[in-house]
Amino acid sequence: MSEYLPGLAGVPATKSNISDIDGEKGILAYRGYPIEELAKNSSFEETTLLLLDGRLPTETELQEFTQQIIDNRDIKFHTRGLMKNLPAAGHPMEMLQTVVASLSMFYPGSECLTGGGSCDDLNYIHNTTVKIISRLPSIVAMWEHIRNGYDPVKPRHDLSYAENFLYMLTGKDPDPMLAKIMDVCLILHAEHTINASTFAVLVNASTLANPYSVIAAAIGALSGPLHGGANQRVVEMLDEIGSADKAEEYIDNKLKNKDVIWGMGHREYKTKDPRATILQGLVAELMQSRGGDISPAFEIAKVVEEVCEDRLAKKGVYANVDFYSGILYSEMGIPPDQFTTIFAIARSAGWLAHWREQLGDNRIFRPTQVYTGEPIRHYVDISKR
């Protein structure tokens, strides 16, 4: 194939049985299970094991995996020391990429990733997967305290994945409703076929790079505003609009100037992102639990979505997962620049599932190009130029 397609739009990059999207019908499924059913009935721990192993675990398997996650939450003091020497004003995604990349120096053992096309050491793959998934939320929560000049909160071993993250982030026992909302958010963000950050996983994994470098590369890709960073931009956009009565004029001006409307549109979906629908429901549920008063941001967001649907639905542009996730995190008291790190925590499950899958049938990525430069020409001495 020699045709150039910008952004590799529609070009299959791999074969995978991890997740699937029907963009016309607005369906997202992990291993064949619709995202709506998993969000309603599963937990992040169970969903992670489903993504990794390809099937829903037994009760014993889930208990063992959950305990492994709990046992690996602690972070070595060397890593804490590194974090304390990073600039406090740095973006949390920059911190996360730096720290994750450094972990291979503290947790060696990637000797199986040498020479061949795959790694047959399943224990190494599993143990490393557990370490990464366990430690990402600890790192993110620790940074919130460290960058503000305080010692981090130690993890607890009696809490679920979502509960422990909120506890480490705030230092307070998590509200059960907020913990449940966080758990659903993690499930919704855990996997989404071959997006930009997952493609970064495949490319880096195909070189047999160590898994910490693989995940650090994915974090770098996710940090961009056209990928995971969009949820922070949505909240900034809503703040800029200011009030619901100004939303229509704001959106029309954006469309007139052909500016980006953050949180709207997705290359895969021609209807509303199913994850956005679930998140919108969670925001409404949270508002209801607080007496029914609608927050200004949610009120503005609903008008923005209505205006965008009126103007853009015919083009297949609807709200995506980023549109409501940022609003939800804001209502939970999470700083906006931490939104994308939560995305990374959740997506680590999908990234590592793809890392495993790539190693199982590996071939290094080496795409071609369409050359548009000069034809062959001869060197001219500098005195004759």
Q: How far apart are CA 219 and CA 78, in angstroms?
A: 21
Q: Choosing from 189, 192, 322, 354, which is the catalytic residue?
A: 322
Instruction: Sort 145 into a burial class: Cβ within 10 Å, 0-12 / 13-18 / 19+.
Output: middle
Q: Which element (helix H / strand E) includes 19?
A: strand 19-22
Q: How far apart are CA 141 and CA 150, in angstroms?
A: 12
**Catalytic annotation present for 74:** no
Q: Choosing from 189, 192, 266, 354, which is the catalytic residue?
A: 266
The dihedral of CA 53, 56, 59, 62: what is its sign?
Answer: positive
User: Shortest CA distance to 193 belongs to which of 46, 350, 44?
Assistant: 350
Which amino acid makes up residue 13? A
Grouping H, G, I as helix, E, B as strand and the rest as coil, residue 34 is: strand
Per-position DSSP letters for 86-114, written without gaps between them: S-TTS-HHHHHHHHHHHHHHHS--GGGSS
* Cα dihedral 311, 313, 314, 316 in deg (nearest 10): 130
**Catalytic annotation present for 266:** yes
Query: How far, in whole angstroms, is CA 113 from its chain's centroid?
Result: 25
Query: How far, in whole angstroms, is CA 357 from its chain's centroid?
Result: 19
Residue 10 φ/ψ, nearest 5 degrees: 80, 5
Structure tokens at 74: 């602690």
- Residue 30, strand partner residues: 19, 33
Active-site residue list: 266, 322
